[in-house]
Amino acid sequence: MAIILNIETSTKNCSVSIAKDGIQLCLVEENEENYAHGEKLNQFVDWCINGAEINLNEIEAVCVSKGPGSYTGLRIGVSSAKGFAYGLDIPLLAMDSLQVLVESQINTDVDLIIPMIDARRMEVYTALFDNKGNQLTETEAKVIDELSFEDLKDKKIVFVGDGAEKCQEVLGHLNATFIQTYPSAQFMIQKAQQKFEEQLFEDVAYFEPYYLKDFIAGKKKTE
C-alpha cells in the first residue's frame, strides 16, 4: 500500500493524479494545444498535492507514462518523474501510454480494445488488447487505411484515443465504437499500485521514454 504520484504527458493532455492504496485522492489535468507541459506540470503536481491534503514527502513512489507519444511531452514527463524519484529517494514506476488508454475501457462489452495515439496524418501508435487489458500484439506505428484491421471485422471493437476520430471515416465499416479522448493519470492508478506491490521499479539513472520512432524536428519557418 502506498501514496503514489502519477504523471501522464504523452499527448496534449498534461495530467497528474495522486492515489493512496489504489484510491484517487486528486486529479489535475488540462488539454493544451500548445503542449505547455513544461510550464504547467510542476504547478499541477503542487495543486494535486494540495488537493490530496498531503505533504510532498509523504509520496512513496512516482509513476510516469513512458510512451509512445509526443517526443516533447514524454521528455518533460519522464524528466520530472526522475527528478521526484531522485529528490525524494522513492521508486520510479513506468506504464505504457497505450495501456493508460486501455484502462479506461476495461471490462466493457467488446472483444477488443484498440488504443490509438495520434502520430500525425493517418498514422497512429497502436496495439491490440482484449477487454481485460491484456496486450495481444506488439506496439507499432501504423498507417491507417480502409484495409486496416480487416481481419477483425467479425469482432466487436472499441477504438480509443486522440487518434480514434480521424480513423472513423475509413474504419466505419467495422463493428466498432470510436472514442476520441486522451490518456489521463486517473487511469494509471490501479496499474501503478500493482507495480508498486510487485516492486516492478525502474532504474532511475538509465530509464528513458519509449519514443517508438526517432524524433524529426520540423523546419524553422522563415520570414
Distance between CA 177 and CA 156 in Å, rounded? 8
137, 128 in Cβ contact below 8 A?
yes
Distance between CA 180 and CA 64 in Å, rounded? 22
Helix (H) or strand (E) holding 93: strand 92-96
Matching fold, domains 3-97+183-197 and 105-180: yes
Domain edges within the chain: 3-97+183-197, 105-180
In the chain, alpha helices (H)? 37-52, 71-88, 97-103, 164-171, 189-197
Task: Please give the CATH superfamily to which domain 3-97+183-197 belongs.
Answer: ATPase, nucleotide binding domain (3.30.420.40)
Distance between CA 209 and CA 67 in Å, rounded? 6
Q: What is the pTM of this model?
A: 0.92
Q: CATH topology for 105-180?
A: Nucleotidyltransferase; domain 5 (3.30.420)
- pLDDT per position as a tens digit, 108-128: 999 999 999 999 889 999 999
> Sorting pLDDT into bands at 50, 70 and 90, what band is 22?
very high
- pLDDT per position as a tens digit, 145-170: 999 999 999 999 999 999 999 999 99
Q: Stretch 63-70: mean pLDDT, rounded?
A: 96
Tell me, letter by letter, the H, E, C secondary structure of 105-142.
Answer: CCCCCCCEEEEEEECCCCEEEECCEECCCCECCCCEEE
Average pLDDT, the chain: 93
- pLDDT per position as a tens digit, 188-223: 999 999 999 999 999 999 999 999 875 444 444 444
